Chain A
Amino acid sequence: MGPMRNGARIGLECETPMTNQQQSLVHARALTKRYANSFTAVDGIDFDVRPGKAFGFLGPNGAGKTSTMRMIACSSPVTEGTLSVIGMDPRTQAREIKAKLGVVPQHDNLDTELTVRENLEMYARYFDIPRDVANRRTAELLEFVQLDERAKDQVEPLSGGMKRRLTIARALINDPELVILDEPTTGLDPQARHLLWERLYQLKRRGATLIITTHYMDEAEQLCDHLVVMDKAKIVAEGSPRQLIDQHSTKEVLELRFTDAVREDLNGQLNGQLDGLADRIEELPDRHLLYTENGERTLEQVNLRKIPVESALVRRSSMEDVFLRLTGRSLVE
């Protein structure tokens, strides 16, 4: 945790003794969220978030990610099960937990009646941070998210990416032990996403603990050390992105596309012709995915069988493949 000590530039001087390293920052057992209409959003999930790691919840919309986040952030009561956050109980110590959390909600809730700088300064007041400390952190954080030149501007004219960055800066104002980000890049253009990822990377390198929800596989693979895949209120798989791919998919994937004519011609026979070429074959509306240890070799065999392929692509397995395997569906539908 060495680099952490130099984290003063963004006001992230973590005060947690790192002897607690073995302890988990968030500990959940049989955690359940049921709403008044008896809809079960989270159905008895177990997980542990280790300090200094980026922990990801991956899953489609409605999988229960946001409900889980809201319980961790003490903004939604736990229905059943055990949850401890930074060693405290959200049922009785919400105020103390919130003092040590940074929250980036799914929908921006910046104060549009205040300027960029006032947003951070006022938020610092909510945390009871002394004025001189608040002013110093505000300046540091505006620089960190590259908004120092917009400090005096109103919030409304800012772009979506800038607002997100300001929200992240705001979440760091209290020097949190744990930062919760709910779909941080949803709705942003690719350039804004990459800039945001880069900032989150910096944050991670300084030793911050992050919890991120996303339905983008690339985001999960880029940012997260540890992932849980959620589907229909349950956790369906867990591990590092690499482990999940190793466990639930093959090393490589051969993607084959056929012309509509070929598809119709061969009709049911296509699958028969591909039979035995790969460990597993997924048939998607527009292509076939052949899961194999060596994509090039499999492609050679496809060609040997004289199967009329329109185009072929060999790639490494990704989280998308894991998700497809586990749930039979694509992540973003």
Chain B
Amino acid sequence: MTVLAASGRVWQRNWLVYKRLWHRSLAFGFLQPVLFLTAMGIGIGALLTPASLEAFGGVEFIDWLGPGLLAAMAMQTATFESTYPIMNKIMWGRNYEAMLSTPVGIRSIVGGELAWGAFRIGTLATIFLVVLALFGIPRSPMAILAIPVAVLVGVAFSACLIAFTATQKNDVGFSAIFRFVINPLFLFSGTFFPLTQLPDELQAVAWATPLFHGVELIRGAILDQLDPLTAPLHLGYLLLMFGIGAWLAERNLARRMAD
């Protein structure tokens, strides 16, 4: 059995568990963006004056916000899927110990979990895009590119968080990650307001953080505003983050499981 086939088995195990609950998960995936867009886009957007809308590049607030939320959803889903469930499989439920007694190896486990994350985020991003379409937000068929970009954002975060989780002996570290990493990224990555509102130094910081690049690419794809100069930079950042994260995840999990 190849590493790839074994990854497929790890994916399949997650599917076996998920398929009992898929309708709930998908209903939630639909409801979440509808609620957010209604509350923030229509509720807040209606209060903005034409002058203040200039900062959003001349589009309606809801059009500007929607793609940002899609990128943030990819990050958050990846975060939840790669913290508690992974820790459970390492420590509490010992699923990985059981898998490692079979020909399934560490690389296949990491590969299977990342493939699972890609699948989950891919489905949720598709539903999200449908919701955006219902709100009339996408400008062109190019918007479909938002799905693979959301998947890339998701697996980049998943890989780094699996690497982190593999080093943790309990779940205390997770709340620090949620509070000090995920939440600030959610708020300050150009999701809710343009970064030009921030002082120059903070704009530079935002450029160094990952979600910003995902937001830029996804918004560019959906509003048909991709900049051929910066898009490769954003893409390169996310690919590099994924590569390093996946490498660290395999290394850390191997060390952990040999304990």
* CB of A96, distance to nearest CB on chain B (Å): 8
- Taking CB atoms, residues of chain A closer than 8 Å to B97 are 75, 105, 109
| B103 pairs with A111, CB closer than 8 A | no
| B12 pairs with A125, CB closer than 8 A | yes
Proximity bits, B79-109, A CB within 8 Å = 1, else 0: 0000000000000011101111111110000
| B105 pairs with A95, CB closer than 8 A | yes
A128 at the interface (CB under 8 A from B): yes
The 8 Å CB contact of A128, one of B5, B95, B100, is: B5
Q: How many residues of A contact B (CB 8 A)?
A: 27
- What residue of chain B has the Cβ atom nearest to residue A167's Cβ? B98
B35 at the interface (CB under 8 A from A): no
- Given A126-B6, A128-B5, A111 and B102 contact (CB-CB distance below 8 Å): no
* CB of B20, distance to nearest CB on chain A (Å): 9
- What residue of chain B has the Cβ atom nearest to residue A96's Cβ? B103
A307 at the interface (CB under 8 A from B): no
A107 at the interface (CB under 8 A from B): yes
| A111 pairs with B93, CB closer than 8 A | yes
| A114 pairs with B17, CB closer than 8 A | yes
- Taking CB atoms, residues of chain B closer than 8 Å to A114 are 13, 16-17
Which A74-133 residues have a C-beta within 8 angstroms of B? 75-77, 94-96, 98-99, 101, 103, 105, 107, 109-114, 118, 122-123, 125-128
The 8 Å CB contact of B98, one of A76, A95, A110, is: A110
| A122 pairs with B101, CB closer than 8 A | no
| B95 pairs with A126, CB closer than 8 A | no
| A109 pairs with B103, CB closer than 8 A | no
Proximity bits, A271-311, B CB within 8 Å = 1, else 0: 00000000000000000000000000000000000000000
Proximity bits, B6-46, A CB within 8 Å = 1, else 0: 10010011001100000000000000000000000000000
- What residue of chain B has the Cβ atom nearest to residue A108's Cβ? B94
The 8 Å CB contact of B258, one of A77, A101, A174, is: A77
Q: Which among A94, A110, A125 has the greatest number of chain B C-beta atoms within 10 A?
A: A125
- Taking CB atoms, residues of chain A closer than 8 Å to B101 are 73, 75, 98, 101, 103, 105
* CB of A178, distance to nearest CB on chain B (Å): 12
B47 at the interface (CB under 8 A from A): no
The 8 Å CB contact of A109, one of B12, B16, B98, is: B98
B205 at the interface (CB under 8 A from A): no
Q: How far is the CA of A99 from the CA of B13 in the complex (A)?
A: 19
| B93 pairs with A126, CB closer than 8 A | no
B176 at the interface (CB under 8 A from A): no
Proximity bits, A180-195, B CB within 8 Å = 1, else 0: 0000000000000000
- Taking CB atoms, residues of chain B closer than 8 Å to A98 are 100-103
- Taking CB atoms, residues of chain A closer than 8 Å to B94 are 105, 107, 109
B1 at the interface (CB under 8 A from A): yes
- Given A109-B93, A113-B17, A118-B16, A125 and B98 contact (CB-CB distance below 8 Å): no
- What residue of chain B has the Cβ atom nearest to residue A77's Cβ? B258
- Taking CB atoms, residues of chain A closer than 8 Å to B1 are 128
* CB of A82, distance to nearest CB on chain B (Å): 20
- Taking CB atoms, residues of chain A closer than 8 Å to B17 are 113-114
- Taking CB atoms, residues of chain B closer than 8 Å to A123 are 98, 102
Q: How far is the CA of A105 from the CA of B148 in the complex (A)?
A: 41
The 8 Å CB contact of B103, one of A73, A99, A110, A122, is: A99
- Taking CB atoms, residues of chain B closer than 8 Å to A127 are 102-103
- What residue of chain A has the Cβ atom nearest to residue B104's Cβ? A126
Q: How far is the CA of A95 from the CA of B100 in the complex (A)?
A: 9
* CB of A88, distance to nearest CB on chain B (Å): 13
Q: How far is the CA of A75 from the CA of B95 in the complex (A)?
A: 14
Q: How far is the CA of A113 from the CA of B15 in the complex (A)?
A: 11
- What residue of chain A has the Cβ atom nearest to residue B12's Cβ? A125
- Given A118-B16, A126-B6, A128-B1, A112 and B104 contact (CB-CB distance below 8 Å): no
* CB of B62, distance to nearest CB on chain A (Å): 39
- What residue of chain A has the Cβ atom nearest to residue B8's Cβ? A125
Q: How far is the CA of A126 from the CA of B257 in the complex (A)?
A: 18
* CB of B253, distance to nearest CB on chain A (Å): 13
- Taking CB atoms, residues of chain B closer than 8 Å to A125 are 9, 12-13
Between-chain CB contacts (< 8 Å), 13 pairs: A75-B100, A75-B101, A95-B103, A98-B100, A105-B94, A105-B97, A109-B94, A109-B97, A110-B98, A111-B13, A113-B17, A126-B6, A126-B102
Known A114-B16, A126-B103, A174-B102; 5 more pairs at CB < 8 Å:
A75-B97, A118-B16, A122-B9, A123-B98, A126-B104
Interface residues of A (CB under 8 A from B): 73, 75-77, 94-96, 98-99, 101, 103, 105, 107, 109-114, 118, 122-123, 125-128, 174
The 9 closest A-B CB pairs, nearest first, are A109-B94, A126-B102, A128-B1, A103-B101, A109-B98, A113-B17, A125-B9, A126-B104, A95-B103
